[in-house]
Amino acid sequence: MPSSTLGNDLANARLAGLLDSAMDAIITVDESQKIVLYNRAAEKIFGWKADEMRGQPLDRLIPERYQAAHGGHVKRFGETGVTSRRMSGSSIVYGKRANGEEFPVDASISQLETPEGKLFTVILRDVTDRMQSEEEQMRLAQRLGGLLDSAMDGIISVDEQQRVILYNRAAEKIFGWNAAAVLGQPLERLMPRRYRGEHSDHVRTFGRTGVTSRRMGDRTNIVYGLRANGEEFPMEASISQLETAQGKVYTVIMRDVTERVRAERELATFAAESAGVREQEKSRIARELHDELAQSLTALKMDTIFLQGNIATNPAGAQAKLDDMLRMLDTAVASTRRIAADLRPLVLDDLGLVPAIEWAVQNFTQRSGIKCVLDLDEDLELEEPYATAAFRIVQESLQNAAKHSKATKVRVRVSTEPEAILLRIEDNGVGFAPDAPRKAHSLGIAGLRERAYLLRGKVAIHSAPGQGTTVEARIPVEKKEAA
């Protein structure tokens, strides 16, 4: 055998070994697109043996719906003169196994001029697992996106440059910016200007600590955000960090606590003012005791001394003085009862809520001259502390109406639900702006809300200048079980 022939055989054997050891399938076809080379990896991928495929049309390995288009693509590629290119482009190429199963492949094609004509070689890889993994990742991403968008708290993630890369629907509602306007923007866009430099330093310092998460803000755990309309608002927030292949990602989870902070401030103001009001009430009672009872007792003492010296010598004068003293005692008794009733009406303890409210309404009309219509269930009965709370809300609402409303008519309605008592006090007075600052040392609305709040109830104030005022209270009532 000539040495050149032996050398060619060895080279062909070596090439065949290399092709069969390749991880990717390698298939070569001639200009009529009949298979002339088909390696072992192709056997594993398609399920056909090489002996079964040599000389067969390449269409045998392609789903029927792609066969005509594929043949045209190969022909046009041969006309371009380009030596090689990827086959799939932006779409997926599919193959067909011996069992008829279709599967996605990643493929490239090359062409080579030979004395026997042009040869086209396709190198392809089964990407079924990769496609399934990508689809699973897409499903997981969609599920995660759904979970993030269904969260009630705002969730914002930023990269190491503190640019927003995730921004859920709750964040849209909180800040007023939609995701398209925020993604890719610096995080400082969502915070007041005076905090921006300090915040960036805090995030960088947190990144160096290695701690995975912590709460943000000062000792009150409150930080401030900036809405799209320029409004600043308080929020609770926590921050976490995660190392990724693309770098460190910081995620902030936040909650708008505007209403809670407003309620806490209002309750703190109420507590401070109520202490002052209690002192004022003590001073008022002390003045009334001094001006009415103490002065009456002093006058009675002086009249008693007068009687000691004149009862025998001036019987007529003594009798007149006794008549004056009796009238003074009647006045003192009436003042004592009025002061005691202002502190707590005995009728509430002795007769119950309905008579106490009727007394309060009657007393309101007598003192203010304002007509008051009362609508309540005569059979209404409440245990403590609900009876006192209901009575005080009605009483204080009437007092507010007498002081501020300039009304000509007030309507009081007391009704019940299966597990709650409903109070409604409505006047036709001048009204006011409920959100306006309250006067110093005035309990007003906060006092009503505090009484209801202590019993897990709520008070709503409906008013506007020139449109009267309506106070609505709902207090849940827990019925005591029978012994």
Query: For 438-469, how does the pLDDT look when each residue is reduced to its tens digit (9 = 90+)?
Result: 665 455 676 777 778 778 888 888 999 999 99
DSSP state of 454: T
- H or E stretch including 428? none
Task: Tell me which residue has tokens 């008013």.
Answer: 463
- Please count the other Cβ atoms lying within 10 Å of the Cβ belonging to residue 478: 10
| pLDDT band, residue 9 (cuts 50/70/90) | low
Mean pLDDT along residues 126-135: 87
The pLDDT of residue 336 is above 60: yes
The pLDDT of residue 324 is above 80: yes
- Cβ 439 vs Cβ 433: under 8 Å: no
Give the strand pairing for 84-86 and 102-114: antiparallel
Q: If we measure between CA atoms, which residue out of 117, 126, 125, 119 comes closest to residue 35?
A: 119
**Dist. CA 308–CA 203, nearest whole Å:** 89
CA distances from 80 to 69, 76, 86, 118, 185 (A): 17, 7, 14, 13, 45
**What pLDDT is attached to residue 293?**
78
Tell me the percentage of the chain whose pLDDT exceeds 70. 89
**Dist. CA 134–CA 140, nearest whole Å:** 10
The pLDDT of residue 141 is above 80: no
Tell me the percentage of the chain whose pLDDT exceeds 90. 27
What the block records as the tokens of 296 is 């009456």
Least confident of 133-147, 174-188, 220-234, 415-429: 133-147
Which comes out higher in pLDDT, residue 277 or 215? 215
Mean pLDDT along residues 39-64: 93
- H or E stretch including 6? helix 3-21
Least confident of 47-51, 146-150, 225-229, 460-464: 146-150
- Cβ 76 vs Cβ 86: under 8 Å: no
| pLDDT band, residue 16 (cuts 50/70/90) | low
Distance of CA 66 to the CA centre of its chain: 52
Which comes out higher in pLDDT, residue 36 or 19? 36
Angle value at C-alpha 414, between 408 and 415, nearest 5 degrees: 140
Report the predicted TM-score, pTM, of the whole model to 2 decimal places: 0.48
Least confident of 34-48, 55-69, 141-155: 141-155
CA distances from 180 to 162, 188, 191 (A): 17, 16, 18
Amino acid of residue 136: E
The pLDDT of residue 371 is above 90: yes
pLDDT 10s digits, 66-80: 888 887 888 888 777
| pLDDT band, residue 242 (cuts 50/70/90) | confident
Least confident of 96-100, 212-216, 464-468: 212-216
Q: How far apart are the first and last CA of the chain?
A: 118
**What pLDDT is attached to residue 439?**
61
**Dist. CA 104–CA 84, nearest whole Å:** 20
**What pLDDT is attached to residue 438?**
61
**What pLDDT is attached to residue 29?**
92
Which comes out higher in pLDDT, residue 129 or 341? 129
User: Mind giving me the DSSP string for 272-292?
Assistant: HHHHHHHHHHHHHHHHHIIII
**What pLDDT is attached to residue 441?**
43
Mean pLDDT along residues 61-70: 88
Mean pLDDT along residues 17-27: 84
Angle value at C-alpha 93, between 54 and 113, nearest 5 degrees: 50
User: Mind giving me the DSSP string for 190-212?
Assistant: GS-GGGHHHHHHHHHHHHHH--S
- Cβ 356 vs Cβ 382: under 8 Å: no
DSSP state of 62: S
- Please count the other Cβ atoms lying within 10 Å of the Cβ belonging to residue 195: 16
| pLDDT band, residue 247 (cuts 50/70/90) | confident
Distance of CA 446 to the CA centre of its chain: 25
CATH 3.40.190.10 applies to domain 150-256: no
**What pLDDT is attached to residue 147?**
77
Task: Give the chain's largest Cα–Cα span.
Answer: 174
* Fold classification of 3-126 (topology level): Beta-Lactamase (3.30.450)
Long-range contacts of 86-93 (CB under 8 A, 24+ apart): 87/122, 87/124, 92/131, 93/124
| pLDDT band, residue 216 (cuts 50/70/90) | low
* Fold classification of 346-483 (topology level): Heat Shock Protein 90 (3.30.565)
The pLDDT of residue 483 is above 50: no
Mean pLDDT along residues 100-125: 90
Q: If we measure between CA atoms, which residue out of 145, 106, 146, 110 comes closest to residue 37?
A: 110
**What pLDDT is attached to residue 2?**
54
Domain ranges within the chain, ordered by starting residue: 3-126, 150-256, 259-343, 346-483
Query: Are the folds of 150-256 and 346-483 the same?
Result: no
Spatial CB neighbours of 33, under 8 Å, sequence gap ≥ 6 = 57, 58, 59, 71, 74, 120
pLDDT 10s digits, 167-178: 999 999 999 999
**What pLDDT is attached to residue 276?**
67
The pLDDT of residue 399 is above 90: no
The pLDDT of residue 417 is above 80: yes
Amino acid of residue 472: E
The pLDDT of residue 108 is above 60: yes
What phi, psi does 125 have (nearest 5°)? -135, 135
Q: Please, which residues bridge with residue 373 across strands?
A: 411
CA distances from 213 to 172, 200, 203 (A): 23, 16, 11
